[in-house]
Structure 1
Amino acid sequence: MAGTRHGFLGRQGGVSGGIYASLNCGLGSGDDQAAVRENRARAVAAVAPGAALVTLHQVHSPTVVTVTEPFADDARPRADGMATATPGLALAILAADCAPVLFADVKAGVIGAAHAGWRPALSGVLSATVEAMVALGARRERIAAAIGPTIGRRSYEVDDGFRDRFLADDDAHDDFFAAGRAGHWQFDLEGFIVRRLAGAGLTTIAALGLDTYADAERWFSYRRTTHAGEADYGRQISMIAL
């Protein structure tokens, strides 16, 4: 993605403490809001100095918005993908096991970002983000996509009902489920996203292969927090700017 400013940030380098230590950028967490805002400012300064941060009220949907100016924190649209051709905007995704996906057609000057947990990935947020970029002048064969840190297959146990949702959409999705203990499967979210992106016409796709659950020092993880019985969890931020 040369020609853009982008990055997948972890949990180091912020000012939050306790279970949020330290670069928690999630406004929806129970962390001190002043600390979260300082962390978000540090993240922008590290990746895209001078850019205006744009985030969404993520709701695990296929909804995508086109962005021309930043939103107030209390007026963020309920959506999980966005696209822009406006320089100076840093499109950012918050996640803690779900996959942040960043997109760019550098020649057209169009970028995008998507929050791709299993629900939005299955329901079409990735293709919808591509379509929003195409509407701004991007060409799908030029769009590059990068998949950031997300929960890995070895850490992502699901039940039969979860798998059945995917098979109801397409029997070929069985490729992403490895048999586990009785009635359970290990799901490859990253691999599923790669196929969805390829199905949307993209040919340049990078997957980082970083498991958020498995590395507590580097990444926040909703599932790890749940298993540990903790009350809340931080969110890491990923962003891209022209």
Structure 2
Amino acid sequence: MEAPEGIAREVDVARAGVLDLAGVAHGFLGRSGGVSTGEVAGLNVGYGSGDARELIDENRARAAAAVLPGAPLASVYQVHSAACVTLGDDLWPEAERPHADALVTRRAGVLLGILTADCAPVLFADPVAGVVGAAHAGWKGAIGGVTDSTIAAMEALGSRRGDIVAAVGPCIARRSYEVDEAFFQRFQAEDLANADFFAGGRAGHHQFDLEAYVAARLARAGLGRVEALGLDTYTAPERYYSFRRATHKGEASYGRQISLIGLT
């Protein structure tokens, strides 16, 4: 199958230096290199987008091949929670994906995948214990502690926090993320210092820095190193899907990109 017109034919894989140094296969993928068409043109991997299943299956296969050829893909049914699950020796069937927003494993030769379309994908690696993880951190999961749950699950597999590195991938940037006063007050109620992640906006509104908030939580958790890629999904329509951009444009659907990590 050919990539649709207007979308690059090569799969776009952004990588993080901290994960390269950890020696794990990983990638934050965008929308280029896929076979979906229309409003979700490109490498759409979201079954909930209304796209044809055979196209999504092809896109997922292309994504996996670009990161760890031949590896099966494990993902979860994302529900904007703080729940993290552990993948053992057996892959769960696609129809029986656990409801969670993060997953970890010590198993080599399998890719963990997280879908996003403005939320922050976070990939984790502990090269000492041989453990990797992936988390979907939308604002609900982020404030609810999904990254903390992921770290705890990695520790249960033998990791030490100081050995874990993490990277925050493409997500909506502060300049693109307007929120209302109630949203701001919710974060203030958690910690007054969270005001640092908001900038002033139009009357009764603020601009929220999701990436910085997630990165700060990771740093406070005591990880060895944290990297933020600084890639805004909203302002890069040819490179990334964005739920908020699709909403503002009045589109009927929106695509999802995938972030992958695995032990070789």
Q: Which range, TM-score by smaller chain? A: over 0.9
Is residue 37 of structure 1 aligned with residue 57 of structure 2? yes
Q: CA deviation at 1:144?
A: 0.5
Q: Where in structure 2 are there 5+ consecutive unaligned residues?
A: 1-18
Give a deviation string over 1:71-101, Cα, whole Å, max 9, x none: 2111110000111001111000000000100
Q: Which of residues 21, 30, 33 in structure 2 aligns to 1:10?
A: 30
Tell me which residue corresponds to 2:123: 102
Extract structure 1 runs of 4+ deviating beyond 6 A. Answer: none
Letter in 2 for 1:44: A
Tell me which residue corresponds to 2:220: 199
Tell me which residue corresponds to 2:16: none
Letter in 2 for 1:217: E
**Matches of 2:222 and 2:103, distance apart in 1:** 18
1:1-242 alignment runs, 5 A limit: 1=19, 2=21, 3-68=23-88, 69-242=90-263
Q: Where in structure 1 are there 5+ consecutive unaligned residues?
A: none
**Matches of 2:42 and 2:177, distance apart in 1:** 25
**Matches of 1:96 and 1:231, distance apart in 2:** 15
Q: CA deviation at 1:161?
A: 0.4
Q: CA deviation at 1:52?
A: 1.2
**Matches of 2:132 and 2:222, distance apart in 1:** 16
Give a deviation string over 1:128-152, Cα, whole Å, max 9, x none: 1001001101111010101100000
Give a deviation string over 1:92-137, Cα, whole Å, max 9, x none: 0000000100000012110000000100000000011001001101
Letter in 2 for 1:49: P
Letter in 2 for 1:4: V
Across the two proteins, how many residue pairs are aligned to each other? Answer: 242
> Residue 28 of structure 1 aligns to a residue in which SS?
helix
**Matches of 1:20 and 1:45, distance apart in 2:** 21
Identity %: 59
Q: CA deviation at 1:202?
A: 1.0
**Matches of 2:69 and 2:169, distance apart in 1:** 21
**Matches of 2:46 and 2:200, distance apart in 1:** 34
> Residue 201 of structure 1 aligns to a residue in which SS?
coil
CA RMSD of aligned residues (A): 0.7
Q: Mean Cα displacement is larger for which, 63-72 or 107-116?
A: 63-72
Q: Mean Cα displacement is larger for which, 68-77 or 206-215?
A: 68-77
**Matches of 2:149 and 2:68, distance apart in 1:** 25
